[in-house]
Chains A and B, each alone.
Chain A
Amino acid sequence: MISSGDTKIRKAKVISRRVFIISLVKVVIFTGIVGRLFSLQVKENKKYLTLSDKNRLREWKLPPIRGEFVDYFGNIIAGNMEVYRLHVIPEQVENFNYLMTRLKTILDLSDNEYSKIIKKKNKQKPWETIIISENLSWSQFSKLNLYLHELDGAKPVLSVSRYYPYKENFTHVLGYLSRASTSDIENSESIKKNYVPGLRVGKIGLEKTFESDLIGTNGIQRYEVNAYGKRVNQVDHILGKKGKNIKLTIDAEVQKYVNELLIGRSGSISVMDIYTGEIIALHSSPSFDPTLFLHGISNEDWKSIRENPLKPLLNKTVSGLYSPGSTIKPIVALSALENDVISPEMKVRCTGKIELYGHRYHCWKEKGHGYMNLREAIKQSCDTYFYEASRKLGVDRLNVTAKRFGLGNNVFDGLFPDEKKGLVPSTKWKKNNLGVGWVLGETLLTGIGQGYIQTTPVQLCLMTAQLANGGFKIYPRLTFDNNYEDYETVKHKMFQKTIEKKNSTIGLIETSKELIFSAKNKYEILFRNQENIKFVLDAMYGSTNEVFGTSYKSRIEDTKYQFAGKTGTAQVKRITEEARKLDLKTEQIPYEERDHALYVAYGPYKHPRYAMSIVIEHGGSGSKAAAPIAKKLFKFVIDRHELREIIRKRKLKNI
């Protein structure tokens, strides 16, 4: 097998030619590889750089810091508190089950909570945090610190949580926070935008109404993550914006006092500035601690709140509907005077009952008041007189006046979604809604605040305020906004309105027509003749400060605190003839059948600034149950007035 020289040369030639061809091919292919590298790394670099960043960077939204609520004096009433949470990252724990059993005994976790945590652990990736507790109590925290060196992997973490330093005092105004539900997220753009798991949002009250202002914006933490989603290191931390702080018109001290006054009772108190409409206090009793809902309410707590016969969940001030009883009488009297139906001198003899159209109508005073004029009738709350007055007036004219003074309509413009309008009946209303014609006897009942008429406590407060300020439309408010006008401005505008009215001859308001209020035309005049208002106010003075007045016992003689008011006792049940004969004491009647006690008042009498309404459910008579509360409260409110003025004037200077 020895190759001859010739074939050797041929072999060498062939291989040289072939290797030359193959080398050319190699050069071409290498050039192709370089071209591909060039196109990926130079031409399309940006595209792939973006893709690579998308791979490695993940953003974590941090919970936004919620805006705070402060009262008129700047006291925090809903704030943010630093709380300790307990986090465990299973990946960093050597023996998870051991740690959990230790934590269970240390923190005294229930079996239910324990199994929930275990379930959560099995669902998550091992490097994802498990929150063992969102809100460690002080004793839990200190106990935990004692054993922390033995609890590898348990981390107490500082976090922010809502806190309500006044506990149950503001619950019905502010509402409460709880975990955002799916419907919360769907219905609110701002919640959707800022949502992070575990976010707490307002469920009711102002916390809900002002959600989009309060919520703030997320902080963002940018992390580098590996292919399995584990955070490797923090790249960026953008701080979020805290939500807007909201200042309320409420004086926390008054609010607290109001709560004390109502403790153990079911009822409502509203206090209002009669010029600016600032709400000084707004409370519904009983209340509950809003913090209960923050971390999910326990079954026992929820049961005790829901099954409480005094209905703590109901915001009685704006959603509770009550017959106004005799507190409506100033409006009936005013309506009758404005419509020239009666004169103040008209006299009616009260014998304790009156026979009309075949029915018998009783006055609250069985023996009768004897001869009464209008002032005495208001002062002594004579029902017989008002049967006669309302008979002459008719329900439709009363309806106009009552509505003009704020009954039968929302007091707050959308602040409380669950606010009730109440009802001021008219013949038309009955025909349309019940399909039956109006019966005259119903007019008489409406005239003493019984029957169909239904009002909320805050409506009664507004009604009283609008009487007390001389008959001008005001706008109750809980917060300060751009439309806010100071006391001096409001008073000045009201004064100007009065001048305008005096100067114009055709400016008479038709008392039978409802007013249409526009935002431009503020502080609308509600009366035809201001003398009529003054008369009613004077009669209310008599009711509180003169002998035989229904709330005479609750008067304050010091002119600094002197107030005027009107009692009301709303029947819950029709009084039968037998019961009337028995004349039972309040304590002898079953709780659910006792009358509601009402009281409306304004003061100080000489220069009124505040109006209030008090409703005590099933409290008995207004003079016994409600008026004494007004006495205490007025003293308190007036004492706080000076402080309030200082703040007000300081702010004026600043502007």
Chain B
Amino acid sequence: MYSKLSFTGELTFFQKLRSLDYWLLFCVLLLGIISTISMYSSEGGQILYYTKSHFIRFSVFFLLMLVLSFLRPSFWHAIGYLFFFIVMVLLVVASFYGVKASGSQRWINLYFVNLQPSELMKIAIIVCFAKYYHRIQITNVNTLQGLLIPIVILIIPIVFVLSQPDLGTSILIALSGIAVVWLSGVKIKYFFYSFLSLIITAPFIISLLKPYQKIRILTFFNPERDPLGAGYQIIQSKIAIGSGGIYGKGFLKGTQSYLEFLPEKHTDFIFTLFSEEHGFVGSFILLIIYAILIFRIISIGALSRSFFGKLFCYGFGTSIFIYIVVNMAMVLGMVPIVGSPLPIMSYGGSSMLATMIGLAIVMGCRIYNKELIA
């Protein structure tokens, strides 16, 4: 299918290599280094399991990303639905036969590693929607059929992820999907109506939530109601960040983390650890790195000639932005605690893999930016 695709004149390998986005690669490497150093700090200044494992994963997946970068966008376009279908099957398998841990069932045991399909779904949904909107005519976007199909595609994985249960990931999948839908030109009034109906049905939805999820929401509005229980994470995280000050407590001197007041410091609260040790200045620099990363992804999208490429880059850039904002807002006590990793920084193989695949597709769009997809 893609042999006759709209592109003449092959690039040499070196041309391809040269047309890689080095700003983007630089930011990703920088984040990889910062995250490894943070892992090292989270283990009290020792190279133990998490540091090693995180570094190895980062290195492997970074190389994988470089390799996958040479795949054309048309390839991703071609396998778009298949990719979504495979991830969906994995998701169903995980939901029914997966490994149970701390009250939820979201992993598939692959013997050498546990795979979390819901993380991959974050990327798969964008690929899938990008293909869908690439193929549909602009006039059909706002028709009933054109609206219903993406809603159904979006709701199916969300239902499975919610049932695992994993509120954080399902929210992120939903937001990523909605972002792509928004970008592709669905009328603003539909967003407005759905938002309105969401508010109206909110009490009903809340009644469907698990007790611990309800508690988390209540705790968000008043962390002091249970300072040793559910509010503990928010309080300790705010203390850690606030006590960091302008320049931070210094590398390996974050007392909140090394004295173990900070929960889940490898994963969701890695930013808290970083912020405590490196202060406002460090956190600001980290935010700048992420901002550059997102800016580069959007720019690549802008330069991409194919609509698929554009939509994927914009969608992926926006998703990365959403992950970052949800995670940071959470550890800063601005939104309730939901499980949501910080891209690249947090410990977690599936999340890292998903991010790297996304980046590889973006990079492919960069190399083959002149390629058109029929």
Contact = CB atoms under 8 A, between A and B. Distances in A.
B289 interface: no
A34 B328 CA distance: 10
B332 A48 contact: no
B238 A48 contact: yes
B275 A26 contact: no
Interface stretch (A50-58, A155-163, A210-218, A437-445): A50-58
Contacts of B329: 33, 36
B280 A2 contact: no
A19 interface: yes
A404 to B, nearest CB: 70
Contacts of A226: 259-261
B262 to A, nearest CB: 8
B183 A55 contact: no
B256 A55 contact: yes
Q: Looking at chain B's contact residues, is the secondary structure mostly helix, strand, loop, or mixed? A: helix
Contacts of B229: none
Interface in B270-290: 275, 279-280, 283-284, 287
Contact of B310 (A15, A23, A225, A228): A15
Interface residues of B, number: 47
B139 A23 contact: no
B280 A38 contact: yes
Contact of A42 (B245, B302, B314): B245
B239 interface: yes
Contacts of B241: 37, 40-41, 48
B318 to A, nearest CB: 6
Nearest to A29: B325
Contacts of A15: 183-185, 307, 310-311, 314
Nearest to B311: A15
Interface string A184-215: 00000000000000000000000000000000
B240 A42 contact: no
B182 interface: yes
B138 A47 contact: no
Contacts of B242: 40-41, 44-45, 47-49, 51-52
Contacts of A3: 137-138
Contacts of A227: 259-261
Contacts of B135: 1
A40 B238 contact: yes
B321 interface: yes
Given A52-B243, A52-B255, A7 B325 contact: no
Interface in B152-186: 179, 182-185
Contacts of B260: 226-228
A238 interface: no
B314 A19 contact: yes
A8 B287 CA distance: 35
Looking at A37, A47, A228, which has the most chain B CB atoms within 10 Å of its CB?
Answer: A37
Interface of A: 1-3, 7-8, 10-12, 14-16, 18-19, 22-23, 26, 29-30, 33-34, 36-38, 40-42, 44-45, 47-49, 51-52, 55-56, 224-228, 232
26 contacts: A3-B138, A11-B138, A15-B307, A18-B184, A18-B185, A19-B301, A19-B314, A22-B183, A22-B314, A23-B298, A29-B325, A36-B332, A36-B334, A37-B280, A37-B332, A40-B238, A40-B241, A40-B332, A41-B241, A41-B245, A48-B238, A49-B243, A51-B242, A52-B256, A55-B236, A226-B260
Closest 3 CB pairs of A and B: A48-B242, A52-B243, A14-B185
